[in-house]
Amino acid sequence: MTSNKAGIIPRLTLAAGLPVTQSPSTTTLRPSACPGLLRIVQALDGGICRIKLNGGAISAAQAVAVADAAERYAGGVIEATNRANLQIRGIGSEHRPLIDSLLAAGLGPKTAAGDDVRNLMLSPGAGIDKQMLFDTRPLAEQILASLQSHERFHQLSAKFAVQLDGGEALAMLEHPHDLWLSAVERDGERLLAFGLAGCPTDTPVGAVLLSDGHALVVAVLELFLDLARPEQTRMRHVLAERSLASVVQALAECVPLTPISHWRRAESPSGLHIGTYPQRQEGVVYIGVVPPLGRLDASMLKGAACLAEEFGDGSLRLTPWQSLLLPNIRHQDAPVLSERLQALGFLLCADQALTHLVACTGSDGCAKGLADTKADALQLATLLPGQADRLQVHLSGCSRSCAAAHIAPVTLLAVSPGHYDLYFRDAVQPGFGALQARNLTIEAAGALLDACSRSPLDA
């Protein structure tokens, strides 16, 4: 069956070990600008296939399958996304074989219509982080199963997202979510604090027992769909018209809620996704590596997969910082593994400028991009030696900010090829923050940022 203009493939092949509970003949994927595994969306550089990973985890065999598909059916470009997923870019006309190969590797949804709504973010350190209060993965499995199997939840926007935080040190706490849940321990009892349309660093609106976590998620999703009009796709849209107190009161009628006061999620130290760190389990570490600007070629991904099998447990984890973790590495093997990862092209040191730069696809692959942000970011990295650890810089080809789900401390917003407006994040100003300078070349931006890095920015 051929695809339509949006790249939608309504037929769903059975994945190995992954039963599909909807009849392919009766499944129609809704139109959307968001790519998925079954919906390949066209961009300037070809089709995009986004592969959503449960908890950001992927097996070595699955990683090899992604690399093979990128080599065979696309231009070989693979991207780590800011939601801990992978996507293949530059896909040609052979959509069906590419999708079938990924489904055969067990990377597809349980139901075709469930692909869009598999938006549940965990810490990359789930189950292994020394600071975690509990392993979030069993609860995550329950939530993901409900998102995919409950037909009503398929009405949710492809951007509607949930975060489950187990109290890990390695956690992305700046991405706003429609619902967030964060682990709390009180008087020896495990609770989940939660909030709506925000982040775990916000003040929670209440808490539930850990055993009621799944019921809370289901209740929030059901209530959102009850309250939202068709054009209201996110929780913030509903809360713009209804008081938070009234929404929480409606939830309390479905799930036992408990008040929570004087609690605030501790900030996570930066940089824990780069380098070698001890795990909760004795004698093993994880190693975090960064593909430059979030991009891998097939040989890098295959190489990392082979090393995960040779030195670890045969698994990889994607992170919201567009990077990878190799978990369960014996402490004594970390130095040689780090060298071999570096030889593949990964960055392992936080003092390298490229580990602190984020750039969207830019004009090289996106029709909306006003500048070649990837190339400009590479140039900018050469202008910031030794200062990168004090700068978090986002280069955006347009105002949509696709590469960053939160506002970075520093944003360079493209206005024309090679020219950018410079913003510093400001809590009291909307959008990217406070405008500092207009129409800067990369050289001028580099000089200004180098000077600013010598005095602290409000990050």
Establish if 415 belongs to a structural domain: yes
**Same domain flag for 322 and 363:** no
230/184 same-domain check: yes
Q: What is the DSSP pairing of strand 393-396 with strand 120-121?
A: unpaired
Strand 284-289 vs strand 41-43: parallel, antiparallel, or unpaired?
Answer: unpaired
pLDDT band at 390 (very low <50, low <70, confident <90, very high): low
- Of the candidates 291, 83, 86, the one whose C-alpha atom is nearest the C-alpha of residue 175 is 83
Mean pLDDT of 114-121: 96
User: What whole-number distance in Å separates Cα of residue 377 and Cα of residue 2?
Assistant: 38
> How far apart, in whole angstroms, are the C-alpha atoms of residue 179 and residue 235?
8
Same domain assignment for residues 178 and 239: yes
The average pLDDT across 92-116 equals 96
Report how far residue 36's alpha carbon sits from residue 3's, in angstroms, rounded to the nearest whole number: 14
**SS3 of residue 78 by DSSP:** strand
- Please, which pLDDT band fits residue 3 given cuts at 50, 70 and 90? very low
pLDDT of amino acid 31 = 66
Given strand 434-441, what is the order of strands in its sheet? 357-359, 393-396, 410-416, 419-424, 434-441
Question: Could you tell me the two tokens for 76?
Answer: 């070989």
- At 259-303, the pLDDT tens digits run 998 899 999 998 999 999 999 999 999 999 999 999 999 999 999
What CA–CA distance (Å, rounded) separates 188 from 28? 48
Residue 80 to residue 53: CA distance in whole angstroms: 11
* Domain co-membership, 307 together with 417: no
Look at residue 22 in the predicted model and tell me its pLDDT.
Answer: 38
**Residue 7 above 60 pLDDT?**
no
Give the mean pLDDT of 443-456: 83
- Decide: helix, strand or coil at residue 196: strand
Co-location of 195 and 151 in the same domain: yes
Q: Which two tokens stand for residue 335?
A: 């130095």
Number of other residues whose CB lies within 10 A of the CB of residue 421 = 18
Would 270 be classed as within a structural domain?
no
Q: For position 374, which CATH number holds? A: 3.30.413.10
Report the DSSP beta bridge partners of residue 324. 289, 318
58 strand-pairing partners: 316
Classify residue 147: in a domain, yes or no. Answer: yes
Domain count, the chain: 4
| Number of helices (H), then strands (E), in the chain | 10, 20
Regarding whether 210 and 294 lie in a shared domain, the answer is no
Stretch 146-153: mean pLDDT: 96
Dihedral of alpha carbons 202, 207, 213, 218, sign: negative
**What is the rounded distance in angstroms from the CA atom of residue 381 to the CA atom of residue 428?**
29
Q: What is the arithmetic mean of pLDDT over 419-437?
A: 95
User: What is the extent of the structural domain holding 148?
Assistant: 133-166+173-252
Same domain, 362 and 444: yes
Residue 402 lies in a domain: yes
pLDDT of amino acid 9:
38
Would the pLDDT of 139 be above 70? yes
pLDDT band at 455 (very low <50, low <70, confident <90, very high): low
Rounded alpha-carbon distances, angstroms, from residue 15 to 2, 69, 91, 134, 147: 20, 15, 21, 31, 19
pLDDT, residue 385, reads 73
Burial class for 444, CB neighbours closer than 10 Å (0-12, 13-18, 19+): middle
- Report the C-alpha gap between 372 and 368 in whole angstroms: 11
Does the pLDDT value for residue 16 go beyond 60?
no
Q: Which of these, 219, 189, 191, 207, lies nearest to 259 by C-alpha position?
A: 207
Residue 1 lies in a domain: no
